[in-house]
Amino acid sequence: MRRPPPHLAAATLLLLVLLLPDPAEGKATKKKKSRSPARTPTARPYYGPPAPTPEPYLRAAGACMEFTPGQYLVLAEVGATGRVFRLDADTRVEADVRKGSRVRVLYVDGPEGPVARKILPGPAAATPPPRTP
């Protein structure tokens, strides 16, 4: 095998040195991760005024102590003080209300105290299991 002339080998070596990157140079040009700001949620499109939401009703339950149709209802639990609910034209009575009956009341707080919106039947008293001798 014949050896290439020394000037041709030197030229090839010089060409390789110029074309190949330096290993240390590759480390210095390492790309850093860019930190983009966090995405913010976009607003939803506006389609008009929002639908009115119903008033949130508060709830009360107890035994009817006194009931005057169209004026007020007094509820109480055993060992607790009674609560008075005003009745107005918007109050719907959906239960048989009489003294001693258990009722539930859905009400809203008004400037003059709680105002009943619905009067519903209360839970039925649990009957004790039959006694066996």
Provide the pLDDT for residue 106: 93
CATH number (domain holding residue 69): 2.40.50.320
Q: Tens digits of per-residue pLDDT, 77-110?
A: 878 888 999 999 999 999 999 998 999 999 999 8
The verdict on residue 117 lying in a domain is yes
Give the tokens for residue 101.
Answer: 């009956």
The pLDDT, as a whole number, for residue 121 is: 92
CB 93 within 8 A of CB 121: no
Total domains present in the chain: 1
Query: pLDDT tens across 13-66, in order?
Result: 777 777 776 665 555 566 677 777 777 777 777 777 777 777 788 888 899 999
Q: In which domain, by residue range, is 72 found?
A: 58-121
Q: By C-alpha distance, which of 128, 53, 116, 37 is closest to 83? A: 116
Residue 15: its H or E element: helix 6-19
Q: For position 25, what pLDDT does the model report?
A: 52
Q: Is residue 93 part of a domain?
A: yes
Q: What pLDDT, on a 0 to 100 scale, did the predictor assign at position 115? A: 94
Asked whether residue 89 is domain-assigned, the answer is: yes
Structure tokens at 64: 């009817």
